[in-house]
């Protein structure tokens, strides 16, 4: 039996594992995909104190993975599929077996929302432009969303795309001033507010028109469609132990169930950033050692 199982190797889970391991605990980190979590995909990591100029999601995730390795934290790439409270602690079922621990820290983070419309057969929207440059270079791109994440990825797309159309259902962009100013200064970004994508028209596998209700964005050469319209908490596993409010856990770091802790973006919070995720992980990791 382990002392502490941490589910999710994003910034919150890695932080929790580091603090618990440093306190002499026998920890196990479970990750269903890759170390780094959501941030591993972003085009540029900004505003987290200490990141270097030009830090990308993948380079940040690599450094997290290195830290896990040199800190001797055991990781299993398995998806947790169930948590059971037992007399001794917890059993965590995964897609490959089960593991027991005295305590569990759940840091399962969020998944990005998809467009709430039926997509034409064979057509897929994308979330992350980094690494996709060849597919949109010189083309028209539509990106849905107007938050910090959408704005940052729009700015990245604009470096290679012919034109970037941001489609925001609110009456203005909801991003920080820094991004707003850069968007205003970019001569190939058009912001469409108060509307949303209603239809994506595809012929011969190529999208040439995106309908926004009153307005249509067209390009005979093809249009790529990206989506950054928010996130849903990965709460399924935790719903039996926690209050779920609007897709996130309305819970403190220490759950009502003794020995269970929640950390990171999965919780209801006003700010979802690496800084708040690692702060949660630090606190949950230390609390779980007590
Ligand atoms: C477009 C965009 C840009 C961003 N840019 C920045 C930025 O520049 N600076 C900044 O500070 N923040 C940024 N953020 C926010 C930042 O990514 C998050 O705040 C941070 O990743 C949250 O960390 P987390 O560990 O709580 O969750 P996540 O990063 O979501 O990690 C959760 C991990 O749990 C794993 N997992 C989920 N379910 C299971 C399961 N059942 N079993 C095993 N593993 C599981 C997932 O695979 C994932 O690896 C950005 C977010 C977006 C969307």
Q: Is the CB of 152 under 6 A from ligand 1?
A: yes
Strands (E), the chain: 2-7, 27-30, 75-76, 80-85, 90-94, 97-106, 110-112, 140-144, 163-168, 189-193, 199-203, 206-211, 216-218, 223-227, 231-233, 244-245, 248-249, 260-262
Beta bridge partner(s), residue 158: none
Q: Which of 27-36, 85-94, 217-226, 238-247 has the lowest mean pLDDT?
A: 238-247
Q: Where are the domains of the chain?
A: 2-112+231-288, 133-227
284: phi then psi, degrees, rounded to nearest 5: -65, -40
Report percent pLDDT > 90 for the chain: 93
Q: What is the mean pLDDT of the chain?
A: 96
Ligand 1 pocket check for 42: Cβ under 6 Å:
yes
What pLDDT, on the 0 to 100 scale, is given for residue 11?
A: 98
3-state helix, strand, coil in the chain (%, to 5): 25, 30, 45
Is residue 153 lining ligand 1, measured as CB closer than 6 Å?
yes
Q: Residue 283: what pLDDT?
A: 97
The CATH number fitting domain 2-112+231-288, selected from 3.40.50.720, 3.90.950.20, 3.50.50.60, 3.30.365.10: 3.50.50.60
Distance CA(274)–CA(129), nearest Å, equals: 20
pLDDT at 214: 86
**Each residue of 202-235: pLDDT tens digit?**
998 899 999 999 899 999 999 999 999 999 999 9
For 157-160, which contacts have Cβ atoms below 8 Å and span 24 or more sequence positions?
157/129, 157/226, 158/186, 158/188, 158/189, 160/133, 160/136
Q: Give, for ligand 1, the residue of 5, 11, 37, 146 to mutate: max count of ligand atoms closer than 8 Å to Cβ.
A: 37
d(CA 262, CA 257): 11
Ligand 1 centre and the CA of 113: distance in Å?
13
Pocket test for ligand 1, best of 126, 274, 281 (most atoms within 8 A of CB): 274
Distance of alpha carbon 29 from alpha carbon 7, whole angstroms? 6
Classify domain 133-227 by CATH number: 3.50.50.60
pLDDT at residue 166 is higher than 90: yes
On the question of a common fold for 2-112+231-288 and 133-227, the answer reads yes
Q: Residue 143: beta bridge partners?
A: 166, 226
**Any idea what the Cα angle at residue 151 is, between residues 184 and 281, rounded to 5°?**
140
């Amino acid at each position: 039996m382990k002392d502490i199982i941490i589910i999710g190797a994003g910034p919150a889970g890695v932080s929790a594992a580091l603090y618990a391991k440093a306190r002499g605990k026998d920890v196990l980190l479970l990750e269903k995909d890759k170390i780094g979590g959501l941030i591993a995909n972003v085009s540029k990591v900004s505003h987290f104190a200490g990141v270097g100029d030009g830090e990308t999601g993948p380079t940040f995730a690599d450094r997290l993975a290195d830290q896990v390795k040199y800190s001797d934290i055991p990781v299993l790439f398995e998806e947790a599929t169930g948590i059971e409270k037992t007399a001794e602690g917890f059993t965590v079922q995964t897609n490959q077996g089960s593991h027991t621990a005295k305590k569990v820290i759940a840091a399962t983070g969020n998944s990005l929302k998809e467009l709430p419309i039926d997509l034409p057969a064979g057509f897929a929207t994308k979330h992350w432009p980094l690494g996709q440059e060849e597919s949109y270079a010189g083309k028209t791109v539509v990106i849905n969303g107007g938050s910090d994440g959408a704005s940052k990825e729009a700015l990245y797309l604009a470096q290679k795309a012919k034109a970037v159309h941001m489609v925001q259902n609110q009456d203005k962009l909801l991003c920080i001033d820094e991004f707003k100013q850069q968007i205003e200064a970019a001569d190939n970004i058009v912001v469409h507010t108060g509307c949303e994508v209603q239809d994506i028209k595809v012929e011969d596998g190529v999208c040439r028109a995106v309908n926004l209700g009153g307005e249509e964005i067209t390009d005979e050469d093809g249009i790529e469609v990206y989506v950054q319209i928010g996130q849903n908490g990965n709460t399924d596993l935790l719903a039996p132990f926690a209050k779920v409010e609007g897709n996130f856990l309305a819970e403190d770091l220490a759950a009502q169930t003794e020995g269970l802790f929640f950390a990171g973006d999965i919780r209801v919070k006003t700010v979802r950033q690496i800084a708040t995720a690692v702060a949660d992980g630090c606190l949950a990791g230390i609390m779980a050692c007590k």
